[in-house]
Amino acid sequence: MFDTLPAHLAALIGFLSGCLALGLLALLAGARLLRKRQHEAHESRQSEIDALTDHNAELRQQLDSREQELLRERQRSTRYEQQLQLTMRVHGELRGRLARLELTDQTLTRRERELDELRERHSKALAQISTLETRLSDELRAAAEKLDFLGRVRQEFSDSFKVLAGEVLHERSQALVADNSAQIGSLLNPVREQLKTFQDAVQQAYVQEARERSLLAREIDALKTLNQQLSGEALNLTRALRGDTRVQGAWGELILSRILEASGLVEGREYTTQVVLRDEDGSRPRPDVIVHLPQERDLIIDAKVSLTAYERCVNAETELDRAAALSEHLGSLRRHVDGLSRRDYAALLDGRALDFVLLFVPVESALIEAVRADPGLYEYALNRNIAIVSPSTLLATLRAASHLWKQEQRNRNAQDIAQRAGKLYDKFVGFVADLDSVRLALSRAQSELDQAYAKLSTGKGNLVRQTEQLRELGARHQKALPADLVADAGDEE
C-alpha cells in the first residue's frame, strides 16, 4: 500500500502535464487555423483570436488551479508520509509493547503459580505452627505435672527409705560386724522387699493415673532400676566403706556416673566432669561435675565420699562409740559444706554458676543418719548456698535439668518456626506488592494500546481511513488492509 504513493503523485503530475499539452496543442491549432483563414475572413479570424485568447486565459486559470491543487496534494502527501512514519513508529512501539505484554503475561502467570504455592505453604506453615503450639502447650503442661508427680514420689521414697534404712541399720548393726556376705544379704532382703513393694506401688499408681505419660514412665523405671542397682551394690558399699579414701572416691564417682547416665543428659554437651579451674590465689579447685543449663547457666556437683566415720558408726558396738562416730561423721559433712561455701564458683565460671552448689552424698543412709542426728543440717547448708542431695534427689534434679533442655529445644524450634513464618509472610507481602505493580503496568499498557488502536483504526482521522483515501485516489498497491479493520475505521476523515 505504501509503495503506491509516488506513482499516485506521478499520475497526478502526468494528468496536469497532459492538460497543459492539450492547451498548447489547442493554441497551435488555433494559430494555424487563423493563418489559414486570415485571407478568407479577417473579421472572423479576429473574433476567433479573441475567443482563443479568452480560452487561453481560461486554460491558464485552470493551469494555476491545477498547480495549486498539485501543491495541496504535495502538502497532503507530505502529511501522509509523516503520518505513515508516525504509524510505522507507533506500530513498532505497539509490537514492542505487545512483546512486553506477552512477557508480562508469562511473568504474571508464573507469579500466580508462585502465589498459589506460597499460599499453600503459608497455610501449611500456619497449620504446623498451630499444631506445634498446641503440642508445646500440652508438653509444658505434662512436664509440669511430671515434675510435680516426681517431687511427690521423691519425697515419699525419701521418707520411706529413711525410715526403712534407719531401722534396719540400727537394729542390725551387730550383724554387719561379722562381714559375712550371706548375713549382709539376709540383712538387706527386708530392704529389698520393702523397696520392691514400694516401687510396685508407685508403678501401679502411675499406670492407673497416667498411662499416656510414656516419658515419665521411663523416668520412673530408670529411678527404679537405679535404686535396684543401689540395693544390689550394698556389698560393694560395705567393702568401699572399709577401704581407703581412693577406693571410696572411685566408688562415689561410679555412683555419680551412673546417675548422670540415667538422667538422660549427654556428657560433653550437657555436663562435663573433672574440670580443673584456677583461683586467684593459684589454687586449682576441681568440681566433680558441671551440669550446663539453658541460658548459659551452670550447676556444680561436688561429691562427699569420705565415709570412714559413718562406717565406724554403723559397726559401733556401744552406743557411746556410735554417738562419737556419728558426731565425727556429722562434723565431716559440715566441714565439707564450709569448704564448698568458701569456693566462689560463680567468679571462676564467669558468672555462669548458680547461687548454690550440690553436695552429693552417694550413700542414702549416711545422709539420713546425719539429718536424723542434726535436723538443721539442710538449713545449715542452704544458708551457705549448699544443697545436700542423695542419689534419689540428685536423679530427680538432673531429670529436671534434662527436661529444661528439652523444653529449651522446643522453644528454639517454636522460635525458628515463628521466624520462618514471619519471613514467609514478608515474602508474601512483597509478592503481593509486585503483583499489584504488574497489574497496574498491564492496565497502563492496555490503556496505551487502546489509544494506539484508536489512532490506527477507530478514532477520528485515523490512519487506516487516511491510507484508504490514498488508495481511493489511485495509489498503486499490491496488498489490502483487512476488511474488518477498514470497516472499523469508518467513513469520516
Mean pLDDT within 84-99: 72
**How distant, in Å, are the alpha carbons of 8, 72, 231 from that of 77?**
10, 8, 118
Least confident of 7-11, 173-177, 208-212, 335-339: 173-177
Average pLDDT of every residue of the chain: 72
The answer on pLDDT for 202 being more than 70 is no
Pairwise CA distance, residues 360 & 393, whole Å? 9
pLDDT greater at residue 21 or residue 218: 21
Q: Which residue has the higher pLDDT, 493 or 347?
A: 347
SS3 265: coil
Give the count of alpha carbons within 13 A of 228, CB side only.
13
Most confident of 2-11, 374-383, 398-407, 420-429: 374-383
Query: Would you place residue 316 in the very low, low, confident or very high pLDDT band (cuts 50, 70, 90)?
Result: confident
Return the pLDDT at 197: 64
Res 417: pLDDT: 73
For the cut 50, the answer to whether the pLDDT of residue 176 exceeds it is: no
Can you tell me the mean pLDDT for 439-457?
77
Q: Considering only 89-98, 333-342, 351-360, which range has the smallest mean pLDDT?
A: 89-98
391-420, pLDDT tens digit by residue? 888 888 888 888 888 888 888 877 777 777
pTM assigned to the model: 0.42
Q: Which pLDDT band holds residue 187 (cuts at 50, 70, 90)?
A: very low
**CB-CB neighbours of 223 under 10 Å:** 23
- The amino acid present at 422, given as its one-letter code, is G
- Provide CB contacts within 8 A for 442, sequence distance 6+: 101, 104, 105, 108
Most confident of 64-78, 160-174, 236-250: 64-78
- What pLDDT digit, counting tens, does each position of 235-260 carry? 455 555 555 566 666 777 788 888 88
> What's the confidence (pLDDT) of residue 451?
77
What pLDDT score does 157 carry? 45
CA 350: distance to chain centroid? 33
pLDDT at 161: 43
Predicted pLDDT at 254: 82
DSSP 392-454: HHHHHHHHHHHHHHHHHHHHHHHHHHHHHHHHHHHHHHHHHHHHHHHHHHHHHHHHHHHHHHI
The pLDDT of residue 493 is above 50:
no
Stretch 269-297: mean pLDDT, rounded? 76
In this prediction, residues 122-139 reach a mean pLDDT of 61
Q: Looking at residues 164-173, what average pLDDT do you find? A: 47
With bands split at pLDDT 50, 70 and 90, how would you rate the model's confidence at 164? very low
**Distance of alpha carbon 146 from alpha carbon 55, whole angstroms:** 128
Which range, 48-57, 106-115, 212-221, 360-369, is most confident? 360-369
Choose between 101 and 192: higher pLDDT: 101
Average pLDDT over residues 35-42: 66
pLDDT surpasses 60 at 357: yes
Q: What share of the chain in percent tops pLDDT 70? A: 60
Q: What per-residue confidence (pLDDT) applies to 399?
A: 87
Using the Cα atoms of residue 258, residue 262, residue 263 and residue 265 in order, give the sign of their dihedral: positive
* Residue 175, pLDDT score: 47
Domain residues of the chain, as ranges? 2-123+428-489, 126-423
| Res. 377: pLDDT tops 80 | yes
Q: What is the mean pLDDT of residues 80-93?
A: 73
Residue 184 has pLDDT above 60, yes or no: no
User: In degrees rounded to 5, what are phi and psi of residue 292?
Assistant: -90, 135
pLDDT band at 483 (very low <50, low <70, confident <90, very high): confident
Q: Is the pLDDT of residue 272 over 80?
A: yes
* Beta-sheet strand order (sheet of 353-360): 271-273, 289-293, 297-303, 353-360, 386-389
Average pLDDT over residues 80-88: 74
Residue 102: what pLDDT? 72
